[in-house]
Structures are given as structure tokens and as C-alpha cells.
Structure 1
């Protein structure tokens, strides 16, 4: 094939390391697998109506300029997030007959499409005109199939994949020592944006109900939602809760390796790739029974709790103080399925079928 134009409304920079890092990872994996890519991405996480309009206008010009400059070399576009990214792919197909693949990540279907009838309409158009739709989790795929009438032949369930060269088993004691983590305590880890939908308030509440002196909690993620971050920090009464800003993935892997338990108490989640990254580092997972997580952690691959339920979360965390009973065979099967190399092989097949 010629080149794939990757369109995404999230892409990381040195200043914003976690902002759509999974898209960057997949682009690198595609390049390593022999697929040439061009980028037309928004790497500005600024919020607020004025900022959003400004950054999206700049991004739109970038998408169109990149396409016009390279249109003879482009065989397809791949949009990450149905809306707004998919609008560009939809336009380029209508205007220039360029086929496209779109990946739904969860928030675009469960949250964005519900913001207005207009966005719902755009979402429907983008999905129905796509040559192939990828959903990162099973529940998301079911929603797309049922609510948007997308036939199974045009729909694949496929995560963004985990790089098992980075997220791998490590020497727990050595990592704890290097990172200054107290090996006498049970160390809980959360990785994700510090926002309401990630269940951070419930996590703080549940952690502080544990017996004093038994555990530490590390929360790694962007605190860009200043008002919510202030609310969360007002809940904190324990000196054993630490907030850490996002970091490069190789450094993040060391925290996964040092942690005793990973906790992801989200309200909604397309898949929950960070849970797989934790498992790949040998760290057991407690997570909400939502979205892709409830499929991923079924059959004992992890511990599932109801969302928005601090008491149930606390109970699971108390259980973890004495060790969790995890189905290691199921975990290994998941890691093979979601290995980035296997994901890229499947993606190459999809590209070959639509170009």
C-alpha cells in the first residue's frame, strides 16, 4: 500500500506525555511493520470553548494541507475517535473518494455522541460511511452495532495493543527500592487523568477506610481539570496518598512493576488499556465492571467491582492486602491477544482490505 494518513484529535508532546500516547505508540508500531504513515493530529490539550475552537481550526487546516500536499501517496485515512477526527475522513472520502478506517475509543460513543443531536448525526454518518470500524472493546462494539446499524463484517474489536517490550515483568523489590516505595506496605497504583469519570473520589474514600499503616496509594495522571483536582485533594486526609504527573512510558512501567495492586475504578471505559499494561508487568488489577473491563477481567483475570461504589472498592482493596487470587492462564491469554505486534498484524490486514 501507499501511505496511511493518521488523523487524531489527541497526540502527545514532550509537555503532554499522556495525551493520546496510545495513538503515537500505534503509529510507531505501524512504521516498524513497514506501513508508512503521515500525521495530521491535534497535540494541544487546552480546554475551554475559545481554546477548543482555535486549536481545532488550526488542526483542520493542518489536516487539509497535509492531504493536499500528499494526496497522490495516500491510500487511506485512519481516524482515531469517531467525532471530531472522523469528520475529516468522511469529508476526504466524499470529496476525493479516499477510503477510511475509524477507531472508536469509548468516550466518542458513550459521551461525545450524546452531547447534542448534531454530534449524534455526525457520528452516525461517519460510522455508516466508514470502510471499516474498529472498537477498542466488546461492549463498545455491541453499542456501535446496535445503535448505528453497523454490520459485523465492517466491525472489528481490537485494542490499541500493549508494547510488551516496555510493559514487562521486573524485579519488584528492586523497583520499589529505586522509586522509594515502602516494601512493608501494600502499594496501590492508579494511572489515568484525575477526572471524575475515572472514579478518583471513590478511590480516595475507599483507600482512607483501610487500616492505617497498611497501604500507600500512588495516583499518576494529568491534573488538568483544576477544579476537580482541588475537590479530590480536599478529600485527602492521609499522608500516604501521592499525586504524580504523567511520565514517559518506560518510567511508568517501573511504577507498574513496583506496585502490588493496580486500581481502575472508572465510570465508563472503552477498554482500559492501562489495566492490560499493569497485568503485563505482573501486577493484579481491581477495576470497575464497565465497558471493556468487565469482559477483560472476567473469569478471574482480575477483580471487578460496581462503579461509583466506594464501599465495594474498599472491600476489594482490603482483600488485596492479603493477596488476590488471579487466574494467571486467563491473564496470559489476554496479553497474547492484546500484544501490539499481533494488533498491528490485524490492522495491516484491515488496511489491505479497504485500500
Structure 2
């Protein structure tokens, strides 16, 4: 095939390392496997109506520049996030008959499509006109099929994959904890993700604060993530005020982040919605058990004794899960975890994605 044009409304930069990092990882893995790619991506995470309009206008201009310069060399486009990224793929298919694959990540279906009737219509058109749809989780695939009327044989469930050469178990968890300034005698909880309401960070801080009161000195909480909403971040930090066992850490390159996964005793992901929850897989790949909300792809991933599921938005039940982890640890079905990690290994994901590219490329 010629080149694949990858379109994404989230892509990292030097200033914003974690912004859509999974898309960048996949692009680099495709390049390593001999698939030439072109990029039409937005690297600006700014929010607010005016900022969003300006950054998307700049992104659209960049998209047109890239397309015009490479028009004859594009075999297909691959959009990450159905709306707005998929609009560009939809346009190129209608105007130039260029085939496209679109990956639904969760927020685009469970949140963005519900913002307005017009966005929902665009979402449906993009999904139905795609040559193939990738859903990062099972529940997401079911929603796309039943709510947006997309034929099941046009949908593949496939995560973005985990790089198990980066996310791997540490020889000595306590030693890694000490190196990062953690107390290896405590139960060290870790959260990784944007500091936003939908990730359940408020409930996590509330639950951990109660845990600190009932079991003083027994645990610490490390939250690694970027501020998306300054007001909410301040609200969360106010909740955590006075608790020296709660630490907020800025995003970092993935090879450094892996050390936190390796050092932590328990990973916690109390999201309200989650297409898959790739960070939970990264934690498991580092030998760290998971407590997470019983939502989206996490419901399937952590079934069969893989992890602990709690209802979303419930700080009390989350507190009980944290307390149980401190007292008893988290028993894990190792065989099922290994099966999951093999399925989601980025090498296997890229092989499957290459097959799709070959099938649909022009």
C-alpha cells in the first residue's frame, strides 16, 4: 500500500506529553512495521469554546495542507475518535473516494455524541460510511452496533495495545518504591489519568481521606495526570489539603511512568465512563493489581478475578475496596491476566491493524 493518513484530535507534544500518547505509540509501531504514515493531528489540549474553535480551525488547515501535498500517495485514512476526527475521513471518502477506518475510543460515543442532535447525526454518518470501525472495548462495540446501526461484521474490537517492553514487572517492587520516594512499608495506591471529574478523582480523594482516618499511616496515594479544568483540580486539591499522604504529580514520559506502575501496590481507576481503560492493562503488565469502576470496557476486563470492580461515583464502596486492599491485598487470577496481556500486546494489535489496512487500502 501507499501511505496511511492518520487523523486525530489528540496527539502529544513536548509540552503535553500524555495528550493522546496512545495514538502516537501506535503510529510509531506502524512505522516500525513498514507502514508509512502521514499525520493530520491536533496537539493543543486547550479547552473553552473560543480556544476549541481556534485550535480546530488550525487543525483543519493543517489537514488540508497535508492532504494536498500527498493526495496521490494516500491509500486510506485512519481517524481516531469518531467526531470530530472522523469528519475529515468522511469528507475525503465522499469527495475523493478514499477509504477509511475509524477508531472509537469511548468518550466520542458515550459523551461527545450526546452533546447535541447534530453531533449525534454526524457520529452516525461517520460510523455508517466507514469501511471499518474499531472499538477499543466490547461494550463500545455493542453500542455502535445497536445504537448507531452499524453491521457487526464491520466492527472489530481492538484496543490501542500495551508495549510490554516498557510496561513490565520490576525485579523488586519495594526497591522501585524507595527510589521514587515512596514508603515501601505502606500500601501505595496509584491513579494515572487526567485530573477531571469523569475520572472519579474527587471520589478517589474522598475515599482515600476516609481510609487515612480509619487506618492512619498505612497507605499513600499518588495521582499522576494533567490539569484539564483548573477549577476542578483546585477543588480536588482542597479536598486533599492537610493529608500529606496524597501526592499530585505532573505527566511524564512513558518509560518514567512505567516505574510508578512498577512501584505501586494497587492501581485505582474510578472512572464514570471508560471505553477500555488501557492504563489498567499497563498496570497489570507491571504486576500491579487493579481496583476500578464497573463501567464500559473495565466491566469485561476485570471480570473473572482479574481485579476488583466497584460502582462508579460511590466514594464509600471505593473506600471499602481500598481498605480491603490494605488489609488483605488483591488476589489475582494470573492465568486470565496473562491471557488479557497477550491479547492486548501491541505487537499483536499492530499485526491485526496491518491486516485491516491491507484489506481496505485503495
Q: C-alpha distance in 1, partners of 2:358/2:250?
A: 39
Per-residue deviation at 1:208? 1.2
- Which contiguous aligned blocks of 4+ residues in structure 1 show a shift greater than 6 angstroms? none
Distance 2:173 2:331 in 1: 19
Partner of 1:271: 276
Shift of 1:49: 1.1
Structure 1 alignment gaps of length 5 or more:
none
Aligned residue for 2:147, secondary structure, equals helix
Aligned to 1:30: 30
Out of 278, 288, 291, the residue aligned to residue 286 of structure 1 is 291
Match of 1:9 in 2: 9
Q: Secondary structure at the match of 1:18?
A: coil
The equivalent residue for 2:112 is 112
Counterpart in 1 of 2:222? Answer: 218
Q: Name the SS for the 1:218 alignment partner.
A: strand
Q: Residues 48-77 of structure 1, C-alpha deviation per residue, up to 9 Å, x if partnerless? A: 111111110110011111011101111000
2-structure distance, mates of 1:314, 1:48: 34
1:292 is paired with a residue whose SS is: helix
After the TM superposition, which residues 45-84 of structure 1 pair with which residues of structure 2 at under 5 Å, given as runs? 45-84=45-84
**Alignment partner of 2:246 out of 231, 241, 246:** 241
Aligned to 2:265, which of 242, 253, 260?
Answer: 260
Question: Matched residue of 1:254: which SS?
Answer: helix
Where does residue 39 of structure 2 map in the other structure? 39
Gaps of 5+ in 2: none
**Corresponding residue for residue 196 of structure 1:** 197
Q: Work out the CA distance in 1 between the residues paired with 2:152 and 2:353.
A: 16
| Cα deviation, residue 224, structure 1 | 2.7
Q: Distance between the aligned counterparts of 2:354 and 2:153, measured in 1?
A: 16
Structure 1 residue 344 and structure 2 residue 347: aligned?
no
Tell me, in whole angstroms, the C-alpha distance in 2 between the residues paired with 1:347 and 1:316.
37
Q: How much has 1:223 moved relative to structure 2?
A: 1.4
Residue 189 (structure 2) pairs with residue 183 (structure 1): no
Distance (whole Å) between structure 2 residues aligned to residue 30 and residue 184 of structure 1: 42
Distance (whole Å) between structure 1 residues aligned to residue 275 and residue 75 of structure 2: 28
Q: How does 1:104-143 map to 2 (within 5 A)?
A: 104-143=104-143
SS of the aligned residue for 1:319 comes to: helix
217, 230, 236: which is aligned to 1:232?
236
Aligned equivalents of 1:21, 1:212: Cα separation in 2:
36
Residues 171-195 of structure 1: CA deviation (Å, up to 9, x unaligned): 2122112111101110000000000
Q: Deviations over 1:74-129 (max 9, x none)?
A: 10000000000000000000000000000000000000000001101100110000
What is the aligned partner in structure 2 of residue 326 from structure 1? 332
Counterpart-to-counterpart distance in 2, 1:148 and 1:224: 29
Q: Whole-Å Cα distance in 2 between the matches of residues 142 and 324 of structure 1?
A: 30
Partners of 1:184 and 1:268 in 2: how far apart? 33
Q: Deviations over 1:232-266 (max 9, x none)?
A: 11111411000001000000000000000000000
Q: Using the alignment, how far apart are the partners of 1:224 and 1:115 within structure 2?
A: 19
Root mean square deviation of aligned Cα: 0.7
1 CA distance for matches of 2:269 and 2:128? Answer: 32
Cα displacement string for residues 130-149 of structure 1 (whole angstroms, at most 9, x for unaligned residues): 00000000000000000111
Correspondence 1:297 to 2:292 = no
Counterpart-to-counterpart distance in 2, 1:45 and 1:315 = 35
